Structure 1
Amino acid sequence: MAWTVMPTYDDYETARAAFTWDLPDEYNPAVDFLRKHEDTSRTALRYEAPDDGLETYSFDDLDERSDRLAAALADLGVAAGDRVGVVVPQKPQNPLTHLANWKLGAVSVPLTVLFGRDALRYRLEDSEATVAVVDPSVRETIDEIRAACPALEHVIELGDSESVRSGAHAFDDLVAAHDPGIDLYDSTPETPTAIMYTSGSTGPPKGVRHSHALWLGRAAAAYNYFDQGLQAGEATLWTPADWAWGAALGGTLFAAWHHGCPVVGWPRDGFDPDAVYDLLERHDVTATFMPPTALRMLMTVDDPDARYDLSLETVASAGEPLTSEVVDWVDAAFEDVSINEFYGQTELNLVVGNAERWFDTRPGSMGKPFPGYEIAVLDPETGERLERGAVGELAVKPGDRRVFFDAYHGLPEKTADKRTEEGWFLTGDLVERDADGYVRFVSRADDVILTSGYRVGPMEVEDAILTHRAVEQAGVVGVPDDTRGEAIKAFVKPAIDDYDPDGLRAEIRTLVRDRLAEYEYPEHIEFVERLPTTTTGKIRRRTLRERDRSGEE
């Protein structure tokens, strides 16, 4: 029962030529992550609670607790195919819920506690989640939206009966009231595993339906961008990214457990560089996934390698292009620490990346295609394959179709549009591939904003802004930002003549934070007399971006 999908290869060309996907006939992620290891008494999770100190969980502990939770969910009526929302930060209850779901054949809906009212409502309603497991920090929001989610029958709040208010089940009590030893659902790589949501640019976020093969694909990619250093008993992983995001959940947490490595859970509201270095030292973290924004914040600490006794070997990064100054800083600030940028999508797994074990990192490049994938650069208009050096849309073809998404939930036409007749999956990202095979990100083909590692769809932000009674029109774009990569800027046409600009800006920012997410609020707001539109009345975001670059008012 090895299920190790990415063997070790000494050089890139050999890996590209020799590797093939060999997925098992039967596959359950809960068994893969928890039961297949030779020594399941080893530590799988080190959880630093904000106020209660360190908790450690072995693979056996997680297996037993997720068994108990699965039995509790079954008593509440959860069955194979049912959707269960998981709105929990980096706490043990997050992976425990996913594992319990898969033991029943249920489908997880990972959601971040950073989401506001509208963002949570839309995703829980669209996915038709029957149960939501939630952190106390979002319980009030869940109560506000519950009536708008008719399929939502049960809410399970973290805590016990003394801390959980009426209207929700207490997580701890449910687990304690049930026994381990349930019969696992007979599943395969094709069994539905999760619905993950994109940030749409031309409409609402799309629910991306995946099967269990997703986790094997992400584990294989992680093995590469962590420089084949995920040896059981040797590597320890941590990421500051929320476990709701694909690269953190599948490419760090579950990839580590697939390979038998422990993970550190450390929920925090903010990012304190000195506290992060202290954590890396305290837990002997050897591999970390960090968005470029986090790395730029770490750069503010002088001489970290001398001040902290770090065990760090590999830094993996994604979400936005790495600049040369970050790559050069890692090389100068640390001894023998590699930095590997990688690229993926909610739909298409993690398909391109750097791996210093195989080839030198080139600043500004996303790397080369990982083994198991072919890539092409296509003309966005004609779909024809372009020569090296030309800018076009990145298209990807997997060696095994199952490691990519199954469909967009309830959107068959958009599902069909994602794939060409020749079997290429379109990314919507414009890239350039050089003569040596390195891929460089140029821009999005649509209007998605890349800020602090998050992808933000401008329409969702515009819709939130338009709910303010003093706003008539709004256009949202990304603008260059030294720390975040891009910051969100809103061009707003007020609906009234008499308004306080500073006061209205503050109200708009608060509104977006409350309705969507903390990272989606517009840092920059410019009030305008009119917005550029097409003949059909759509906002011309490209014109707004050009206006911002030119400094026009």
Structure 2
Amino acid sequence: MTYFVTLEGETYEEARESFSWDVPDGFNAAVDLVRKHDDGDRVALHQAFPDGRRERYSFDDLDRRSSAVANALESLGLAFGDRVAVVVPQKPANVLTHLACWKLGAVSLPLSVLFGTDALRYRLTDSEARIAVVDVSQWETIREVAPDCPDLEAVLVVDGEPEIEGGTVGDASVSRFETAIDWRDDDHEVAETDVDTPAIVMYTSGSTGKPKGVLHTHGVWLGHCPAFSMYFERDLEGTYWTPADWAWIGALGDLVFPAWHYGQPVVGFPMGSFDPETAFELLAEFDVTGSFLPPTAIRMLMDVDDPADRYELSLRAICSGGEPLTPEILEWAEAELEGTVVNELYGQTEANLLVTNCREWFPAKAGSMGKPVPGHEVAVLDPETGERVGAGEVGEIAVRRDDDPVVFAEYWNDPEKTAAATLERGDGDGQRTGVRSESDGMPEGQAWHLTGDLAERDAEGYLWFKSRDDDLIITSGYRVGPREVEEAILEHPSVAQVGVVGVADDRRGKIIKAVVQPAAGTAGSEELREEIRELVRDRLADYEYPRAIEFREELPQTTTGKIRRSELE
């Protein structure tokens, strides 16, 4: 079964009009990613390690080795629908475990190696994971939390010491990943699945509340492919790399799995803390043509002098999202990386890669997320009534659920939150959530996912992110989106990072507070505070300037690299 997502048409409008999801019956993600390719001996994974080791795995290698892992997991009692936690950095064991789960019809659970005990314990217990594949760097953490995880039956430790073999943590048996698997037993019949079969639970970052388990199906990676084609400018033959943790959708969905859908190799490297010099070395060594880089990483790359002269780069396009992309980033890439384009994108764990840019089809606008991606019907709705808003008006981003494989199935063990994030048009009472009856321009029978993100669409169809609706600051009666203020403050050359929140004020309800990380070599001062205030006044409005400004050496971030605003007040 060979199936590829294609974008046809000379223009963006033609591609939108002609696109359809025509997924074959019996679809399985593992088959799609590694087994379907006719040229199975093509390199799929260039694996690099900090100690200088280099390994290569073809698509056939990944297919056989993931089948061996599937056989081992099955021998441990794993059954269709069971959950397996994957707490491994950018190493082969990470992706092999995901592929093995999908071949079995089991559900994988990507988790960050940066998680502490509370974060790991919560996700293991909430998901009722039966098996955990963990890196040796997480050995002490899993030892501490396993006794509190009653469903956990087995732990496989990647690169673990021999003495852990045959031990236990809590009620779970412990084995080394490398020896628990008979690599010669590398054939496994794929379970009966389809595009709607549960495949993966990805937890939200928790930047605005308790992390939610987001259940996706086997079709989720297909759902990412149209955007992947766009932000890499429809020239997909190449090599791909991201420094992002293979525990979140921004790495697996924005780059790794779409690249494999198209039969293209990716680079794996367990970097740990991002190092810009190492990043440029990897980009050059493996002739990387496309990369997903968070804005924070791009800004660190911008501190490296003369990269095009020092490194032989093949980089054609960078995609990025999650934080503001200022004009300076686009200009830097154009000038210092010899024409490399940077395309902003928008998505969330529940529905990723809904909006992006493609220079072949339309020019980028600095600060805009781009336009809706073919295959995804995106609307901007009034947060109160659910009706579509006009150009230039702020509303909530929504995406039609029906037949869109990128939209999540449900929140794990939380049907109430699933219902609250779903809008259905029919004979209802007109409340914001649930069934709606207003003449909102949407045909009856359609279901929409409400993202909780606010944006506006301009007259040319570009979308401009404003804020999370629960991040909105109402000060003296004015509604202020923190991201807009952050974008303005980031224009100051002495600011490296910033997070903006609202804090209680007796007179104004809330005032705007900015927590600023000064640029390297710069100290926070009263003079800098006043410059920031004047900059925001000039760029935005008098009521949007931060009345309170705090300087910190470092801002708290989620494991996905987003600023944790809840810790800034």
Q: Check the 8 A contact 2:44/2:266 in 1, yes or no.
A: yes
- CA-CA distance at 1:442 after TM superposition: 1.1
User: Which shows bigger deviation, 390-399 or 272-281?
Assistant: 390-399
User: Which shows bigger deviation, 328-337 or 309-318?
Assistant: 328-337
- CA-CA distance at 1:356 after TM superposition: 1.0
Amino acid at match of 2:421: K
- CA-CA distance at 1:335 after TM superposition: 2.2
Equivalent residue runs for 1:207-218 within 5 Å: 207-218=213-224
**Structure 2 equivalent of residue 185 of structure 1:** 191
**Structure 2 equivalent of residue 121 of structure 1:** 121
- Partner SS state of residue 373, structure 1: coil
Amino acid at match of 2:379: A
Amino acid at match of 2:82: D
Q: Check the 8 A contact 1:35/1:59 in 2, yes or no.
A: yes
Q: Matches of 2:204 and 2:387 in 1, distance apart? A: 27
The change in CA–CA distance for 1:111 and 1:355 in structure 2 (over 3 A counts) is same
**Structure 2 equivalent of residue 333 of structure 1:** 336
Q: Matches of 1:140 and 1:313 in 2, distance apart? A: 41
**Structure 2 equivalent of residue 463 of structure 1:** none
**Structure 2 equivalent of residue 225 of structure 1:** 231
Amino acid at match of 1:153: E
**Structure 1 equivalent of residue 451 of structure 2:** 427
**Structure 2 equivalent of residue 391 of structure 1:** 394
Q: Matches of 2:368 and 2:518 in 1, distance apart? A: 18
1:253 matches 2:261: no
- CA-CA distance at 1:382 after TM superposition: 2.1
Greater relative contact order, per chain length (Cα 8 Å cut-off, separation 6+): 1
Kindly, what percent of the aligned residue pairs are identical?
A: 51
Q: Matches of 1:479 and 1:362 in 2, distance apart? A: 27
Amino acid at match of 1:18: S
The change in CA–CA distance for 1:483 and 1:218 in structure 2 (over 3 A counts) is farther
Amino acid at match of 2:233: D
Q: Check the 8 A contact 1:158/1:164 in 2, yes or no.
A: no
- CA-CA distance at 1:220 after TM superposition: 2.6
Q: Matches of 1:389 and 1:9 in 2, distance apart? A: 29
Amino acid at match of 2:190: L
- CA-CA distance at 1:202 after TM superposition: 5.9
**Structure 1 equivalent of residue 240 of structure 2:** 237
1:292 matches 2:295: yes
Q: Give the alignment partner of residue 203 of structure 2, picking from 164, 172, 197.
A: 197
Q: Give the alignment partner of residue 351 of structure 2, picking from 340, 348, 351.
A: 348
Q: Give the alignment partner of residue 373 of structure 1, picking from 351, 373, 376.
A: 376
The change in CA–CA distance for 1:521 and 1:344 in structure 2 (over 3 A counts) is closer
**Structure 2 equivalent of residue 30 of structure 1:** 30
1:273 matches 2:297: no
Q: Matches of 1:206 and 1:372 in 2, distance apart? A: 26
- CA-CA distance at 1:2 after TM superposition: 2.6
- CA-CA distance at 1:397 after TM superposition: 1.7
- Measured against aligned partners, the alpha-carbon deviations of 1:304-336 in whole angstroms (never above 9, x if no partner) come to 112211001111111222111111111121223
The change in CA–CA distance for 1:409 and 1:436 in structure 2 (over 3 A counts) is same
Q: Matches of 1:11 and 1:191 in 2, distance apart? A: 34
Q: Check the 8 A contact 2:155/2:175 in 1, yes or no.
A: yes
The change in CA–CA distance for 1:122 and 1:438 in structure 2 (over 3 A counts) is same
Q: Check the 8 A contact 1:389/1:432 in 2, yes or no.
A: yes
**Structure 1 equivalent of residue 320 of structure 2:** 317
Equivalent residue runs for 1:431-450 within 5 Å: 431-447=455-471
Equivalent residue runs for 1:8-47 within 5 Å: 8-47=8-47
The change in CA–CA distance for 1:116 and 1:33 in structure 2 (over 3 A counts) is same
The change in CA–CA distance for 1:163 and 1:332 in structure 2 (over 3 A counts) is farther
Q: Matches of 1:517 and 1:339 in 2, distance apart? A: 23
Aligned length: 481
Amino acid at match of 1:187: T
Q: Check the 8 A contact 1:372/1:398 in 2, yes or no.
A: no
Q: Matches of 2:330 and 2:303 in 1, distance apart? A: 15
- CA-CA distance at 1:86 after TM superposition: 0.3
- CA-CA distance at 1:10 after TM superposition: 2.5
Q: Check the 8 A contact 1:161/1:173 in 2, yes or no.
A: no
The change in CA–CA distance for 1:131 and 1:15 in structure 2 (over 3 A counts) is same
Amino acid at match of 1:425: H
Q: Check the 8 A contact 1:201/1:446 in 2, yes or no.
A: no
Q: Matches of 1:21 and 1:264 in 2, distance apart? A: 29
Structure 1 gap segments, 5+ residues each: 459-475, 485-505, 527-543, 545-553
Q: Check the 8 A contact 1:160/1:173 in 2, yes or no.
A: no
**Structure 2 equivalent of residue 55 of structure 1:** 55
TM-score, structure 2 length as denominator? 0.79
Amino acid at match of 1:426: L
Q: Give the alignment partner of residue 305 of structure 1, picking from 300, 303, 308.
A: 308
**Structure 1 equivalent of residue 543 of structure 2:** none
- CA-CA distance at 1:298 after TM superposition: 0.5
Q: Check the 8 A contact 1:195/1:210 in 2, yes or no.
A: yes
- Measured against aligned partners, the alpha-carbon deviations of 1:244-274 in whole angstroms (never above 9, x if no partner) come to 1102112211111110000000111222212
Q: Matches of 2:197 and 2:146 in 1, distance apart? A: 28
The change in CA–CA distance for 1:477 and 1:34 in structure 2 (over 3 A counts) is farther
- Partner SS state of residue 126, structure 1: helix
1:138 matches 2:138: yes
The change in CA–CA distance for 1:518 and 1:294 in structure 2 (over 3 A counts) is closer
TM-score, structure 1 length as denominator? 0.81
The change in CA–CA distance for 1:5 and 1:115 in structure 2 (over 3 A counts) is same
Q: Matches of 1:348 and 1:223 in 2, distance apart? A: 17
Amino acid at match of 1:247: G
**Structure 2 equivalent of residue 415 of structure 1:** 418
The change in CA–CA distance for 1:7 and 1:273 in structure 2 (over 3 A counts) is same
Q: Matches of 1:102 and 1:525 in 2, distance apart? A: 37
**Structure 2 equivalent of residue 93 of structure 1:** 93
1:359 matches 2:362: yes
Amino acid at match of 1:351: L
Q: Matches of 1:119 and 1:333 in 2, distance apart? A: 40
Q: Matches of 2:562 and 2:254 in 1, distance apart? A: 24
The change in CA–CA distance for 1:524 and 1:112 in structure 2 (over 3 A counts) is closer
Q: Matches of 2:296 and 2:356 in 1, distance apart? A: 18
The change in CA–CA distance for 1:524 and 1:213 in structure 2 (over 3 A counts) is closer
**Structure 1 equivalent of residue 475 of structure 2:** none
**Structure 1 equivalent of residue 83 of structure 2:** 83
Q: RMSD across aligned C-alpha pairs, in angstroms?
A: 3.1
Q: Check the 8 A contact 2:233/2:317 in 1, yes or no.
A: yes
Structure 2 gap segments, 5+ residues each: 169-173, 426-446, 473-481, 491-496, 502-511, 521-551
